[in-house]
Structure 1
């Protein structure tokens, strides 16, 4: 118990001592501002560029910018493979190798030395040999020329440390992709405007491929790019003629456009936004106020006057309006052709007058003979112009199943194929739909021929004659005379005998 009391008496004293001894931690950090040296400060002050003058559109300064150097990738003329010695240093095969002399070399190290010595002799022979052996690129391919000599690696394992260092990002950035091939040709000895070849040297200009614009695929038509460029007046203005200021067409928000292809063809709209990465534009259509995304190469920039005049004109989308436009184009072509014929006649007449005037300078006998010839020509009756062959009668009707017989159309792709007449544009032109569902526009009547159905249940239509447009069916065929006995729906009590050319397979509604 006494010992217990002593222990308890000593504990409070120790606790008092622990309380008096306090431990503290602290961190001190001084921020030293960077003070450049006097030499650096002087160079910074002196590193200034002063403007010395202006030459046209260029500014001349005291420190002109360096011109870009010509990029040349030299041709490999010497083996540049690398190997590591025992100390880990990289050496080139063309350089001097340090021979390590050791008394207790193993058989393997001795074999390696012999291989190195043999490769060195071969290199000396190539470098110091005749000119035919020195010019290695004429006989040895580049990959074989720069390979590692035999003996340093077997066929199973490849030593990466013998290969040169891989290219860095800086190396790739220093050589543009479009200049890589030209730099290699320059390294092989090619020079601009200098002939190449062995016997007949010629300066062959390389083909420069133009980069395709964004959004224009491999099968797209490059001519669509030219349509986007604004048209300019070809002829110069006449003296005293004042032209109106042309409206600047801008491919940007607010610009007026005409859709030339796609689902919204022949519709006008305004550009609301542009997606340059995908070469597409956001267009708000004038009719319907629908916002659509269209390819940049499917639209055409138009002026404000044209937009205000035709943007909401629905009549121009009708078939009659399109027929009128086609007739106008045909009329213009006829006028141009007539002008060409008149120009030819004028030239021929002027040549005849010149020829007569030159002969008029001859003798008297020649004049008399000419007079007789001219009188005889006057007595002759005028030659009648050759009559044009009569135009074949029109037989085109909607919903007729016909055969395509033109070998020149689309390279003969649709020759001898069956198709259906979808719409008749003019008496001799129509729109046809193939069996695959493809539409063919402006198909002429002489490209098609009628089809007589083989089945008794198929309907036919009379395309020529008095009963043209009547629907019926075939009762009997006469293949020898190319005729058929036909019963029409409107005249069920009668039977008609018609030629094969007067009837055609009908695939439309029977209640016609």
Structure 2
């Protein structure tokens, strides 16, 4: 039995750990590592030369089988199949295809999915219609708008250009907080209600308007210094309209944006002779705004230090909403668009 390798020692060697079972017999009796190393080298087989009979007797494919047997292979070979199967599309090397029973599993529809999709579609359609209506808004220079878009949101601005602005459906406006004019989309603004303007008039932050004389590199004309902000305050909503001035109607309705001359003031009611040839009554001061003529036009100062004086427009800056006025005594001053109003032809001759 010992010759066949079936004794108790052989069984114990198979059960021992791999390193313990593969060590050279007798090395456990030696004391030092050097002695065990010399014992191991002396008992190893000599190197096999590639030209030896032993090397030639063993086919090369059996070398691999010997290695596999040393790693636990039992020597049994699986049946090889000549059939070549294509890998599933987009399946990487080493990946396992998804089981068929999971591929065709129906999606469980949650309650409320259809209602949510329908509601989202309705909201999207309403938003689309609202933006179309906002984009179709008609604005004119001087209109005060409230910004609802992402840029400068929740601020008020006065339109300086409604046509000729680069871009699709764009306008140029001056923010109430001051600074350089900004470009906004028509769908990003809504017109401020006139009643709100009456309660809270549009006023630029003091000091935001640059001096025209400095921007033009100085002037040889002797211009007086500007009046302090309190003297140049915007016109009062109840005291600036007088007979003879030309105004623009800002009340929504038939006469919106139409111009006319004030012919009578009866308390809070105004009577206007419209440019179309009709006379209308019952218009309030809050429903009109000043009209600023072109260079050479006659104006009446309706607010500020020179309130009540007449003059002639000698320069007009739409971007800054300012005019330079030559007063009757020859002095020149700067006024905002809200501080002067065009005089009618009859009043000019008086």
With normalisation by structure 1, the TM-score equals 0.21
Bigger Cα Rg: 2
Q: Larger % of helix: which?
A: 1
- TM superposition score normalised by structure 2: 0.31
Higher relative contact order (CA 8 A, sep 6+): 2
